Amino acid sequence: MNTKRNILLIYTGGTIGMIKDSETGALQNFNFDELLKYIPELNLLECNIASHSFLEPIDSSNMNPDFWVEIGIIIEDNYDTYDGFVVLHGSDTMSYTASALSFMLENLTKPVIFTGSQLPIGDLRTDAKENLITSIQIASLYRNNKPVITEVGLYFEYKLYRANRTTKVNAEHFEAFDSLNYPPLIISGVKLSINFPVLLKPNWNKKFVVHKILESNILLVKMFPGINKEIINHIFSYPNLKGLVLETYGSGNLTNEKWFLKAIKKITNKNIPVINVTQCFGGGVDMSIYNTNKEYRTIGIISGKDITTEAAIAKLMFMLGQNISAKGFKTKFETSLRGEMK
């Protein structure tokens, strides 16, 4: 006899939780207590579903680390009561939030699945129903009385990805997300096809911990031809800067103009970590390929390897909140903590 799993839906906001007003046609949030009214198919799932909504659902463009902590606390408070969690979130910043939660939730031994939609749940052609139903099914997957997924995942358009490997790649198509440097964990077809070898393996003996301190005084700079010396020197002079992520060309290439090297060296001399990530969706950073990077290697720039920009930002905020020594920061950042890099 199958045990009915208890799943908690956490609604933060976003298109998936909206319906069209019958009179005005405008989108509005609906009461998640009435979820079965809009998706009666949920009655067919072999699990018990409860929901928890933010007091005020937010647009994902307004997402910030305070909300990440709020999600973490909801999961922490309900961790022993539920077998899995599904977080409903706007798609625009979902990869950022899901990546952050992957670092904040240490020693996770239950599924935390992020999902959303491109069209509202009440729309005739909505992708919300399939995304939500399958996310709940995945959160309910257990084998030998243990969950199949024990990490933070992101499910969209028939694929479950490791959340901290994802990037939103399309604003219009239902296939809104991709993970070019890591294969899908599950592909949904006639059956759920689980790629067991690539799943994150938990340590069942360690205590679950939710980290709530994140440092957001960081900066993201994307390299481009013609980047301006005066502007760079101005923004790099911000007195409370705690970390810098550089989105660089190709395999991690940076201009070797002396003024830029000097600006970066000024930051690293203050023991402020500088992370090198590629602008490309696929592949990663290898600073040994081109001679232009020779001097940057000597001043301690940290290689982001094949990490996404979203995960790099989340990991940097997380690690800066852990009071890690400047000496050990580079080694730890270049080490995979939650399967976010090679």
Residues 28-74: tens digit of each pLDDT: 777 666 676 778 888 899 999 999 999 888 999 999 999 999 999 99
What strands lie across the sheet with 302-303, from one edge to the other? 218-222, 243-248, 274-278, 302-303
CB 277 within 8 A of CB 254: no
Dist. CA 20–CA 38, nearest whole Å: 12
SS3 at position 178:
strand
> What residue has token string 């067991």?
196
Q: Which residues contact 262 (CB under 8 A, 6 or more apart)?
A: none
Amino acid at 329: F
Torsion of CA 24, 26, 28, 33, to 10 degrees: 60
pLDDT above 70 covers what percent of the chain? 98
> Does the 218-333 domain belong in CATH 3.40.50.40?
yes
pLDDT at 117 over 90: yes
H-helix or E-strand spanning residue 268: helix 258-268
Q: Which residue among 15, 97, 248, 308 is the active-site one?
A: 15
From residue 16, alpha-carbon distances to 101, 115, 132, 218, 245 in Å are: 20, 9, 9, 30, 31
Classify domain 5-210 at the CATH class level.
Answer: alpha beta
User: What are residue 193's phi and psi, to 5 degrees?
Assistant: -95, 110
pLDDT at 1 over 60: no
Angle between helices 326-333 and 309-320 (to 10 degrees): 150
Please report, for the chain, the start and end positions of each structural domain, with discontinuous segments joined by +: 5-210, 218-333
Confidence of residue 339 (pLDDT cuts 50, 70, 90): very high
**Annotated catalytic residue 15:** yes
